[in-house]
Amino acid sequence: MSVDSLLFPAAPALGALTPIHDASKAHGWWRSAVIYQIYPRSFRDLNGDGIGDLAGITAELPQLAGLGVDAVWLSPFYRSPQRDAGYDVSDYCDVDPLFGSLTDFDALIAEANRLQLRIIADLVPNHCSDQHVAFQAALAAPSGSPERGMFIFRDGAGPDGTEPPNNWQSHFGGPAWTRVTEPDGQSGQWYLHLFDSSQPDFNWDNPEVHAEFERVLRFWLDRGISGFRVDVAHALVKAAGLPDWGGRADGNSTDGFPGHEAPMFGQPALHDIYRRWRSILDEYGPDRILCAEANVDPLPRLAQWVRPDEMHQAFNFPFLHAGLDLDRLRSVISDSLIALDAVGAPSTWVLSNHDVVRHASRFGYDGPGPRDGDGIGPNDPQPDEQLGRRRAAAATMFMLGLPGGAYLYQGEELGLPDATNIPGSLRQDPTFARTGGARIGRDGCRVPLPWRSAELHAGFGDGLDPWLPLPESWSALARDKQEADPASHLNLYREMLAQRSTLRLGEGSHAWAEDYCGDSSLAYLNGSTLVVMNLGAEPLPLPPGEVLLRSSVQRGSIQRSSAAEGTDPLGSGETIWLKAR
């Protein structure tokens, strides 16, 4: 597509424009959708056992419809020993009793349909729980048996097979191999687990594994699911021979070890799997979707995952990891739109999820913040919560002005920070245990939500203590308090999502507004909407226009007023949506 073909409204006051992306003419709700991630154990506890449940989600779905999202993505709710908060699945076609039953799931779907919300399920196809019936059968069967062929068993290296088959490391720390005790009591083979030792990897070279997951897809599609977010979608197939790897365990590129060479990630045969899955979803209609959690770089390589016959979406991790580095943000946004336009796919944008420190905390540092992929503990430098919340609001408004789909993580609409003072004795993330506390892990972003400030556990549940403790300060951020405050973080999110829908920004265009892109600011035009973010210490002068929305509080309310002669300067740590003249 040539730049000359891009059509933007005349806006002489804006100065030079650099067009990147034309408005979308393609159809599909998911191309511009805002999808809200629910972490079920931390959303709402209706039965009082201290853990969130499906009934709690169903009860609060009207709140999400009122927020203005299009769909809800549920992190795993399947049967599981819960060694990794449900990402260790023991039965893919049942609900864990912690969360309820299939009847509860059907009630959730019915309520979502009533509210015109779509439900997307997490699917975990790389690994299962060591309690899964198939893995238990593999442990009981001999080397070379069909049962062991469902997983990746290998003889050990070194004398008597006492060393792991290769040098791969687990994402959670330590070797990615565990040796089993054979039925006769002797030490035997090793099995691969890229994550916790309780999560054995499936062998996707085995057609029986393919058949099993096709059955799982159909089971949930038949129950009304609108699609699947595919966990570690880049990891299912491993390189032949399982060669050693000297790079990072997560496959991210480092000097001498480019990510595309990682033998446990991004193998070509993956695309055949997802083409088959896409054909299954298409049988159920054009509105069922697949979204890849695929940590693949560079962006043109990620675009291969969302070609017309594969996934519909892929998470944009480069955008998430760009933080508030304006040069990096500009590069990632341009590269994303160009790479994905080349295959006719929309980009996605995300700032928080269940695996990273919440952006209200990440952005609360002027210097170095938490290590990438780790949490914040009580002995670490603490973020400035007020600064973090202001910058988080600005970053979110900047994100929601971009064309494409967007993902929100539960609680970010309340401006929740990470919980940083969880005692070691209460931490649940296997990363914390496997590293002896050297890595804090992800518990801080997974703490249950505050719903009603005056109730027990801030309204999360009225029974047992929550599975992770809520900070006392979170009562002030509870949903009921924010609903009553017209200038709250919650009401800002509602207004952003309403305006995004009205202005059709998700389907829009993108051109950098060069006169407002500098060392401390970044700006773009989407249709006739100018989006400017100012991270500098000084106010930024703006062109005349109608103020649609500001990310900061003005005179006790969310500012969305018209300025006839000019526009008030943009404050530090603030984003504005302006109807360009």
Burial of 328 (0-12, 13-18, 19+ CB in 10 A): middle
Instruction: Show Cβ contacts of residue 305 under 8 Å, excluding neighbours closer than 6 positions.
Output: 233, 271, 274, 292, 294, 296, 311, 314
Q: What's the token pair of residue 451?
A: 């719903």
Q: Which residue has the tokens 């891009």?
A: 6
Q: How far is the C-alpha of 361 from the C-alpha of 572, rounded, in Å?
A: 18
- Rounded-to-integer distance, Cα 489 and Cα 19, Å: 32
Contacts of 554 (CB under 8 A, 6+ apart): none
Query: What is the distance between the alpha carbons of residues 129 and 127, in angstroms, rounded to a whole number?
Result: 7
Q: What share of the chain is helix, strand, coil (3-state, %, to 5)?
A: 30, 20, 50
**C-alpha dihedral sign at 302, 394, 330, 580:** positive
Strand partners, 38: 74
Of 342, 332, 477, 345, whose CA–CA distance to 399 is shortest?
A: 332
* 3-state class (DSSP) for residue 183: coil
Q: Is 309 exposed, middle or buried (0-12, 13-18, 19+ CB in 10 A)?
A: exposed
Q: Which residues are CB-contacts of 560 (< 8 A; sequence separation ≥ 6)?
A: 495, 499, 547, 548, 549, 550
Which residue in 91, 63, 62, 60 sits closest to 77, CA to CA? 91
Q: Which residues are catalytic?
A: 231, 283
- Residues 528 and 8: their CA atoms lie apart, in Å, by 8
What are phi and psi for residue 563, nearest 5 degrees? -115, 115
Residue with tokens 């789909």: 405
For 449-483, give the secondary structure using H, E and C: CCCCCCCHHHHCCCCCCCCCCCCHHHHHHCHHHHH
Is the CB of residue 361 less than 8 Å from the CB of residue 454?
no
